[in-house]
Amino acid sequence: MKINRLCTAVFFLICMGYAVSLQAAESNYHLTSTDELKEMLDENVEMLVVDARNPEEYQEVHIRGAINIPEKKFSKYLELLPVDKMSRIIFYCNGVKCGKSKKAAKKAMDLGYANVSIYNEGMPVWEEKGLPIYAGPDYEKRVATTKISPSDLFELSKSNAAAFTLVDVRDMEEFGEGHMPGAINIPVADFAVQSGILDKKKKIIVYCNSGGRSYNAYRKLMKLSYKDINQAIFADWKEAGLPVEN
């Protein structure tokens, strides 16, 4: 019995040590906020801003002045990194649930760079706030959304409500006046900022009155790398005589 307890204690200490080491490794880089990055760019602070997404995403839109070092091909772009290992480097990708910036930052730290930061909110929030971007020729290209009919959505809500999250992207006041049952409210103006609450393992269904704002939310979800997205229309829901909550 004593041997078992001793083994358990040793195993616990090993796990605790690993957790502390992992936490220490992650704390070696600073998390930079949107306001901090904007202020540094406005003041022309000497730094290198690195977009860790793939080249196609970078060419569509990126933070003005950023260079592209795709995380998956990091070793092929080492010549773009500063010679001085104390240079400030800020990595970003597609928001708080995107791991590319963290992986790229770790690779930079493994190479000896000691002043590494992550802009965790990333491209979607930067773009949403109307901050300086480079927009490529495909930036305004319209995407085709996957729409779900009122009847299919109603049946899904009855048979498997736990499998999806329904998001009303209208203003809070509109949401309070009436919304689809079970919906949460994330206004499209702050959609990327608040998107961290959405589970990527679930289907996300966005809706507004007639489709304009939910299209924008849908597009933001695509950029945030959500895979299972549907768009619904509240006007169609009400026209079908389906229930509305206040």
CATH code for the domain defined by 26-135: 3.40.250.10
Work out the number of other CB atoms within 10 angstroms of the CB of residue 47: 18
pTM over the 0.95 mark: no
**Six-digit token string for 186:** 């994330």
Q: Does domain 150-239 have CATH number 3.40.630.30?
A: no
Per-residue pLDDT of the chain (246 residues; tens, 9 = 90+): 444 444 434 333 334 343 333 343 444 678 999 999 999 999 999 999 999 999 999 999 999 999 999 999 999 999 999 999 999 999 999 998 899 999 999 999 999 999 999 999 999 999 999 999 999 998 988 999 999 999 999 999 999 999 999 999 999 999 999 999 999 999 999 999 999 999 999 999 999 999 999 999 999 999 998 999 999 999 999 999 999 999
Work out the number of other CB atoms within 10 angstroms of the CB of residue 207: 30
Contacts of 106 (CB under 8 A, 6+ apart): 25
Helices (H), ranges, 79-159: 100-110, 122-128, 150-159
Would you kindly state where each structural domain of the chain is located, as residue ranges?
Answer: 26-135, 150-239
Fold match between domain 26-135 and domain 150-239: yes
